[in-house]
Amino acid sequence: MPLCVTSHLCLLVLPVMSLLLLLSPIGWSHEGLSPGCHLHPFNVTIRSDRRGTCKGTHLVYACVGYCESSAFPSRYSVLAASNFTHNITSASRCCTISKEAKVKVRLDCPRGRHHDDMEILTAKACRCDMCRKSRY
């Protein structure tokens, strides 16, 4: 049975279905992160080798979330300078670390042989900044 019996009914059904699709939380996590760019904690485990002979766990922070970005038609000067190949200009901003700190992770070994300390980095503050390829 077709969804649209008459063209008038189709005109009424399509806007309602479109609105429902826009409002439906497809792919959204109910754990949900708050909007924007912020610190997110997670546990990291460091191992001395593939077998995990010595290992240690520590809580560290990462920057997660999103930042506003935009794309727009390039100005004529940009088009001319690029031989008319750069027709879209984008202004991208990425969620990135603005302050970091070193933390020590103690590696525990079997039979209490020895304890190694290893330094790793953790995020202390985040911000939206220009996206740079070298960071990702």
CATH number assigned to the domain comprising residue 40: 2.10.90.10
Is 8 inside any structural domain?
no
Q: Name the domain count of the chain.
A: 1
Does the pTM exceed 0.85? no
Q: Residue 33, SS3?
A: coil
Is 9 inside any structural domain?
no
Is 5 inside any structural domain?
no
Domain membership of residue 50 as a residue range: 29-135
Asked if residues 101 and 127 have their Cβ atoms less than 8 Å apart, the reply is no
Q: Supply the pLDDT for residue 117.
A: 86
In this prediction, residue 34 has a pLDDT band, given cuts at 50, 70 and 90, of: low
Residues in Cβ contact with 95 at an 8 Å cutoff, skipping those fewer than 6 apart: 36, 37, 63, 64, 65, 66, 67, 126, 127, 128
Percent of the chain residues topping a pLDDT of 90: 47
Could you tell me which residue, 6 or 133, shows the higher pLDDT?
133
Is 126 inside any structural domain?
yes
Is 21 inside any structural domain?
no
Is 121 inside any structural domain?
yes
